[in-house]
Amino acid sequence: MQAIPTPKTPKFWQATQWVLDPLGYMNTNFSRFGDMFKAQVPSGSDEPWVLINNPKVLQYILTHDTGKEFTAPGEVNSLLAQVMGWQNLILLSGKQHQHRRRLVMPPFHGERLNVYGQVIRQITLDLLQQWPIDTTLDMRELMQKITMRVILQVVFGMHEGERYLQIEHLLHSRLSITASPITSAIIFLPWLQQDFGSWSPGHRFLEFAAQTDQLLFTEIQERRANLDSDRPDILSLLLAATDEEGKGLTDQDLRDELMALLAAGHDTTATALAWAIYWIHALPEVKEKLMAELDTMTNPQDPAEFLRLPYLAAVCNETLRIHPIAMVTFPRRVKVPLKLGGYTLEPGTLVVGSIHSLHQREDLFPNPKQFCPERFLQNQFSPYEYMPFGGGVRRCVGAALAQYELKIILGTMLTQFSFDLLNRKMVQPGRRGITSGPITPILIQKQGAQSQPKKPLQTV
Ligand code: HEM
For the Cβ of 264 lying below 6 angstroms from any atom of ligand 1, the answer is: yes
**Amino acid at residue number 142:** L
- Rounded CA gap, 406 and 400, in Å? 10
Tell which wins on pLDDT, 1 or 269: 269
Answer yes or no: are the C-beta atoms of 75 and 44 closer than 8 Å.
yes
Q: What is the pLDDT of residue 172?
A: 81
Residue type, 91: L
How sure is the predictor about 1, in pLDDT bands with cuts at 50, 70 and 90?
Answer: low
CB 291 within 8 A of CB 414: yes
For residue 242, the model assigns a pLDDT of 82
Residue 327 has phi, psi (to 5 degrees) of: -70, -30
Cα angle: 379, vertex 385, 388; to 5 degrees: 105
For 320: left if phi > 0, alpha if psi spans -120 to 50, otherwise beta; the answer is alpha
Higher-pLDDT residue of 227, 161:
227
Residue 331 Cβ < 6 Å to ligand 1? no
Classified as helix, coil or strand, 420 is: strand
Indicate which residue's Cα is closest to atom 8 of ligand 1.
389
Q: Is 238 in the pocket of ligand 1 (CB under 6 A)?
A: no
**How much is the pLDDT for 180?**
67
| CA terminus-to-terminus distance, the chain | 63
What was the pLDDT predicted at 454?
Answer: 42
Q: Output the DSSP codes for 223-259.
A: HHHT--TT--SHHHHHHH-B-TTS-B--HHHHHHHHH
User: What is the distance between the alpha carbons of residues 38 and 211, in angstroms, rounded to a whole number?
Assistant: 40
Instruction: Mark out the alpha helices in 298-438 (DSSP H runs).
Output: 303-306, 310-322, 355-358, 374-378, 399-416
pLDDT in tens, 50-96: 999 999 999 999 999 999 999 999 999 998 888 889 999 999 999 99
CB of 416 sitting under 6 A from ligand 1: no
Any domain includes 2: no
CB 432 within 8 A of CB 184: yes
Q: What is the pLDDT of residues 404-429, one digit of tens each?
A: 999 999 999 999 999 999 999 999 99
CATH number of the domain that residue 408 is part of: 1.10.630.10
In total, how many domains does the chain have?
A: 1
| Cα 102 from chain centroid (whole Å) | 20
Mean pLDDT value of segment 277-293: 97
- Calculate mean pLDDT across residues 292-300: 93
Q: How far is the CA of 52 from the centre of ligand 1 (A)?
A: 19
pLDDT level of residue 448 (50, 70, 90 thresholds): low
Q: Do residues 234 and 155 touch, judged by C-beta distance below 8 A?
A: yes
Summarize the confidence of residues 292-313 as an average pLDDT.
94
Asked, for residue 459, whether it belongs to a domain, the answer is no
- Rounded CA Rg of the chain: 22
Q: Say which range, 99-108, 145-154, 388-397, 447-456, has the weakest mean pLDDT.
A: 447-456
Lowest mean pLDDT among 65-74, 89-98, 205-214, 291-300: 205-214
> Span 272-286, mean pLDDT?
98
Within a domain: residue 373? yes
Specify the residue with its C-alpha closest to ligand 1, atom 7. 389
Indicate if ligand 1 lies below 6 Å from the C-beta of 402.
yes
Burial of 283 (0-12, 13-18, 19+ CB in 10 A): middle
How far, in whole angstroms, is CA 95 from its chain's centroid? 25
d(CA 27, CA 50): 15
Asked, for residue 4, whether it belongs to a domain, the answer is no
Dist CA 325 CA 403 (whole Å): 13
Q: Tell me the average pLDDT of the chain.
A: 90
Coil, strand or helix at 104:
helix
Q: How many CB atoms lie within 10 A of CB 154?
A: 28
Tens of pLDDT, residues 181-206? 666 677 777 767 777 777 777 787 78
Which of 389, 403, 436 should be mutated for ligand 1, with most atoms under 8 A from CB? 389
How far is Cα 433 from Cα 414, in angstroms, rounded to an integer? 29
Percent of the chain whose pLDDT exceeds 70? 95
Q: Could you tell me if residue 1 is inside a domain? A: no
Distance from residue 129's CA to the centre of ligand 1 (Å): 30
- The dihedral of CA 216, 218, 219, 225: what is its sign? positive
Predicted confidence band at 453 (pLDDT cuts at 50, 70, 90)?
very low
Asked whether residue 108 is assigned to any structural domain, the reply reads yes
Do 320 and 402 form a contact (C-beta atoms < 8 A)?
no
Calpha distance 287→197 (Å, rounded)? 49
Distance, in Å, from the CA atom of 369 to the CA atom of 393, rounded to the nearest integer, reads 30
437 in contact with ligand 1, CB cutoff 6 A: no
Q: Is residue 318 part of a domain?
A: yes
What residue's CA is closest to ligand 1, atom 19? 396
Q: Give the pLDDT band of residue 460 (cuts 50, 70, 90).
A: very low
Report the b/e string of 354-369 with b at 16+ CB within 10 A: bbbbbbbbeebbeebe
Q: What is the rounded CA–CA span in Å between residue 29 and residue 13?
A: 13
Lowest mean pLDDT of 1-15, 320-334, 370-384, 446-460, name the range: 446-460
Residue of the nearest CA to atom 16 in ligand 1?
A: 390
Give the pLDDT band of residue 449 (cuts 50, 70, 90): very low
pLDDT at 179: 67
Say yes or no: CB of residue 432 within 6 Å of ligand 1: no
Residue nearest to atom 20 of ligand 1 (CA): 396
Cβ of 272 less than 6 Å from ligand 1: yes
Cα of 71 to ligand 1 centre, how many Å? 18
Segment 297-311 shows an average pLDDT of 93
How high is the pLDDT of residue 457? 32
Convert 69-137 into a string of H (helix), E (strand) and C (coil).
CEECCCHHHHHHHHHHCCCCCCCCCHHHHHHHHHHHCHHHCHHHHHHHHHHHHHHHHHHHHHCCCCCEE
Q: What is the mean pLDDT of residues 37-54?
A: 93
Bigger pLDDT: 108 vs 422: 422
Q: Judge whether 5 lies within some domain.
A: no
| Distance between CA atoms of residues 177 and 170, nearest Å | 11
The domain containing residue 312 runs over which residues? 11-451
**Residue 276 Cβ contacting ligand 1 at under 6 Å:** no
Whole-number pLDDT of residue 327:
97
CB atoms within 10 A of CB 82: 14
Give me the pLDDT at residue 450, please.
Answer: 37
